[in-house]
Every structure is written in C-alpha cells, then in structure tokens.
Amino acid sequence: MSMRFSVEGLDQHYGSAQVLRQIGFEIAPGECLAVLGRNGAGKSTLLKCLMGLLAPSAGTIRIDGADATAWSPHRRSRAGLAYVPQGREIFSELTVGENVEAAARAHGTYGTPAMDEAIDLFPVLREMWRRPGGALSGGQQQQLALARALVTQPKLLILDEPTEGIQPNIVALIGEVLRALKGRLSILLVEQYLDFAIDTADGFVILSRGAIVEAGRAETMTRDHLSRFIAV
Ligand SMILES: Nc1ncnc2c1ncn2[C@@H]1O[C@H](COP(=O)(O)OP(=O)(O)OP(=O)(O)O)[C@@H](O)[C@H]1O
C-alpha cells in the first residue's frame, strides 16, 4: 500500500521572492519523514507543491518512479497522496458523516471495511456523526480531517501541523494512530511540536529560508540538535 516518493531540485517563487530552493528528499515506503522549520521557512509552500496546488518553478516530483511534477491534484490524490492542510478545511455545513462519506465516495471506498476501519481510529467521530463539522472542537475537527484523508486509503499521508492548537490527550491519540499506520503507508509530517515529531518520525528534513539545512535519520538526531532549528 505504500509508495516511493521523492523530490529533486524543487524551487518555488511567489513573484520575485524565492520561497523554496533546491529541495530534495525521498520518503521510503512505510516511513515517516518530518519536515521541521521556523514560521515562514517554506513548509506549507512545499506541501502545496507536492500536492499540485502550486506549480514549482523548477524540480521534479516522483511517485513510484513516475514523473508526477505536472500531475493535477486530482491525479496525485488518485495515485495515493492525501493531504490534511493546516486549518483542516473540513466542510463545516456538512455533518461529520457527510464529510467522511463524500471523501470515501470520491475514492470508491464507500461502504468498504477500509472506510469503517479509518473511522474507528477516532471513536469521537461516531458520537458526533450527525453533527455539523463546524460544531466540532479543533481537536475533533483534526480527527475528522485525518479520517477523511484515511478513508481514501492513501499511500502517502501529508500532514501540515496536525497538533497545532490541539489539547494534549488528542495529540497523544493522533500520535498513536500515526505510529500504528506507519509501515502500511508513508507519512510526510510538517510539525512545530518537536517531541511529537521525534516520537513519530524515522527521518528529518530541516528547512530554513526555503532551503534544506540539515537532514538525517531519526537515530542520528538528538533532541537538542533538532531544537536549535525550530526554537524561535
Ligand atoms: N501566497 C503567498 N504570496 C506571497 N508570499 C507568500 C505566500 N504564501 C507564503 N508566502 C511567503 O513564503 C514564505 C514561506 O511561507 P510558508 O507558509 O510556506 O512557511 P511555513 O514554513 O509553512 O510557515 P508557517 O509555519 O508559518 O505556516 C514566507 O516568507 C511567506 O511570507
């Protein structure tokens, strides 16, 4: 179920401002790569390029060896990428159930055991099933956004700061879910919460002013070392 995903020489500009510079990395099947960096380092921009929401000005994105750089977001999603943006972007007028079911229908997984399995990861969603998405707390909305991504049976789950503004017990639940999912799918985690990233990631990439300033396997990175790159 997991994919080989890689990026080479990726540049991105907003007008004349260069926001990403020669970004390159690979995510091995089933592994979690964490991207760390201070506010404004270019993390969200990178994820948008990977999803096809922004066109990079240079570079190549590969999915299982195929050049996916020019693929539409829809085609990337079909190929197994799922993206949970910062702020979650759930449909607040639709019920929890409708949010999840719409995603499953769009990916042909509606009514399958895979759909139920993804929902069961977050018990609160069954309790809130008929409530509008907008009535959920931030932590509940994050769980909904994750379930909505997971019912599509992604091969690579791309998460933009999933712990932001969320209470500790839900952060712990999300961490458990991600660690249980690793191996079955790959994860690209943008995170400012260092301990969460350390508990979850197999490898790190650190962005500063749009460039990778450090990269390596989790075992070779100490907390002290990593914290230098994200402390404000
Ligand atoms: N639409 C835009 N137009 C122009 N500049 C932008 C735009 N979006 C982001 N930027 C700039 O690009 C740089 C990178 O922003 P980006 O949001 O990718 O950083 P980030 O690392 O995700 O930060 P944060 O954690 O605050 O979201 C910043 O300097 C930001 O001001």
> Does residue 21 surpass a pLDDT of 90?
yes
Alpha carbon of 218 to ligand 1 centroid (Å): 26
Alpha carbon of 21 to ligand 1 centroid (Å): 14
Q: In a 10 Å sphere around its CB, with 0-12 CB exposed, 13-18 middle and 19+ buried, how is residue 14 labelled? A: exposed
Q: Are 171 and 142 in contact (CB under 8 A)?
A: no
129 C-beta closer than 6 A to ligand 1: no
The HSE-up count of residue 227 (CA atoms within 13 Å, CB side) is 5
**Element holding 17 (H helix, E strand):** strand 17-27
User: Of the residues 10, 13, 18, 19, which should be mutated to test ligand 1's pocket, given the most ligand atoms within 8 Å of the CB?
Assistant: 19
> pLDDT of 111-129, one tens digit each?
999 899 999 999 999 999 9
Number of DSSP helices (H) and strands (E) in the chain, helices first: 9, 10
What residue's CA is closest to ligand 1, atom 10?
Answer: 14
Question: Would you say how long the chain is, in residues?
Answer: 232
Q: Are 144 and 94 in contact (CB under 8 A)?
A: no
Nearest residue to 177 (alpha-carbon basis) of 143, 153, 139, 126: 143
CA gyration radius, the chain: 17
What is the widest separation between alpha-carbon atoms in the chain? 49
Q: Name the pTM for this structure.
A: 0.94
Which atom belonging to ligand 1 lies closest to the Cα atom of 15?
A: 4
**What domains are defined for the chain?**
1-80+188-232 (3.40.50.300)
> pLDDT of 132-191, one tens digit each?
999 999 999 999 999 999 999 999 999 999 999 899 999 999 999 999 999 999 999 999
Beta strand spans in 116-229 (E):
156-160, 186-190, 203-208, 211-217
Q: What is the pLDDT of residue 229?
A: 82
What residue's CA is closest to ligand 1, atom 9?
Answer: 45
What residue's CA is closest to ligand 1, atom 16?
Answer: 42
